[in-house]
A and B are shown apart, each in its own frame.
Chain A
């Protein structure tokens, strides 16, 4: 499943994931954004793994924000933009 969200004034945020037993699995964030340090990418992927597919955007963004160390810097991407891409990936599945 695949979802994309172009953050206004920002970069493209892409989510690829599977759903297993109503939970997010194999979540992969990608895109042309900037993230420091680069290890934060794996932290974000891991934070979303196993979340219920019913989690709303506020809940998704909050979970991502809580998982990130205070020194992580984002440019052209935000927890809210990632959450929007996740919801789009899940909606694409329902529409299919």
Chain B
């Protein structure tokens, strides 16, 4: 497969009204597929959350990762995504989440480690423009002197790569630690776990409203790679809504790794 560059593609931006956690999971599956079969140009999607959620990785054990009783008590929905990686604790307004759907040709020949850093180089640059010296911390974190900022995950489907990232804008660490189970073994290597790593959220680091950080990221992506505004197609939304109900809202999928 011939390697392509960012500018070889006609990048589209999706940034819609808040959507439910299960619909976000479904949109990632549908849009990755659409880009993989060439029905949709490569796309950057900025997520807006309609409800709080814990998003666990494709291979994480539900009972090992989540205190279901605490999640219920806090009114937090637990969903499983299609990519690997660790649990994310989401409250609307507290995170900045985005997905990139790209042809595999964009990362052909790169190691996993290189592919993660490559897909987020534009974010590192945007953070620099906001005065934050940030860098990629293998395997899949964006970090800064103050602490971790974001976690990334990739999944390959057909001819496409899904690369999605959740950044901490603000955080209720007490509630997060109430809902997520943090194991001791996880602490042995680096002293922290994905969710509990010393996080230094973007609000503290920039003093800017969340919307201003997102606008800076969009502007930087557009300057570096080109970016046109787009809307979800009606058929994409219909298929994602069906999948949100039949798969991502199902007990079978949530418990796929019990």
Q: Are A28 and B154 in contact (CB under 8 A)?
A: no
Mark out the residues of chain A between 44 and 94 whose CB falls within 8 Å of any chain B CB in the assembled complex. 73, 75-76
Q: Can you give 22 contacting A-B residue pairs, CB < 8 Å?
A: A6-B185, A9-B138, A11-B139, A14-B61, A14-B64, A16-B61, A16-B64, A28-B61, A28-B258, A31-B61, A32-B59, A32-B60, A34-B112, A34-B139, A36-B155, A36-B156, A38-B58, A38-B82, A38-B84, A41-B59, A75-B84, A76-B140
Q: Are A33 and B257 in contact (CB under 8 A)?
A: no
Interface code B40-69, partner A: CB below 8 Å = 1, 0 otherwise?
A: 000000000000000001111100100000
Q: Is A17 close to B, CB under 8 A?
A: no
A8 to B138, CA, bound (A): 12
Q: Knowing A34-B84, A36-B155 touch, does A75 contact B194 (C-beta < 8 A)?
A: no
Q: Are B257 and A32 in contact (CB under 8 A)?
A: no
Q: Is B174 close to A, CB under 8 A?
A: no
Complex contacts, B82 vs chain A, CB 8 Å: 38
Q: Please, how many residues of chain A have a CB less than 8 angstroms from a CB on the other chain?
A: 25
A residues at B contact (CB < 8 Å): 4-6, 8-12, 14, 16, 28-38, 41, 73, 75-76
A12 to B61, CA, bound (A): 11
Minimum Cβ distance to chain A for residue B247 (Å) = 13
Q: List 12 additional A-B contacts (Cβ < 8 Å) besides A6-B186, A9-B189, A35-B84.
A: A4-B186, A6-B188, A9-B138, A28-B61, A29-B59, A30-B59, A30-B64, A36-B156, A38-B58, A38-B82, A73-B112, A76-B140
* B64, B82, B258: most-surrounded residue (chain A CB, <10 A): B64
Q: Which secondary structure dominates where chain B touches chain A? A: loop
Minimum Cβ distance to chain B for residue A14 (Å) = 6
Closest-by-CB residue of B relative to A75 is: B112
Closest-by-CB residue of B relative to A88 is: B185
Interface pairs A-B: 5 shortest CB-CB: A4-B185, A30-B61, A32-B86, A34-B84, A75-B112
A96 to B152, CA, bound (A): 38
Q: Are A12 and B183 in contact (CB under 8 A)?
A: yes
Q: Knowing A30-B257, A34-B84 touch, does A12 contact B186 (C-beta < 8 A)?
A: yes
Minimum Cβ distance to chain A for residue B128 (Å) = 26
Minimum Cβ distance to chain A for residue B62 (Å) = 9
A75 to B193, CA, bound (A): 17
Q: Are A33 and B59 in contact (CB under 8 A)?
A: yes
Minimum Cβ distance to chain B for residue A5 (Å) = 7
Complex contacts, B84 vs chain A, CB 8 Å: 32-35, 38, 75-76
A50 to B85, CA, bound (A): 28
A6 to B57, CA, bound (A): 16
Mark out the residues of chain B between 179 and 193 whose CB falls within 8 Å of any chain A CB in the assembled complex. 183, 185-186, 188-189, 193
Closest-by-CB residue of A relative to B156 is: A36
Q: Are A6 and B112 in contact (CB under 8 A)?
A: no
Minimum Cβ distance to chain B for residue A8 (Å) = 6
Complex contacts, A35 vs chain B, CB 8 Å: 58-59, 84
A57 to B85, CA, bound (A): 25
Complex contacts, A11 vs chain B, CB 8 Å: 86, 139
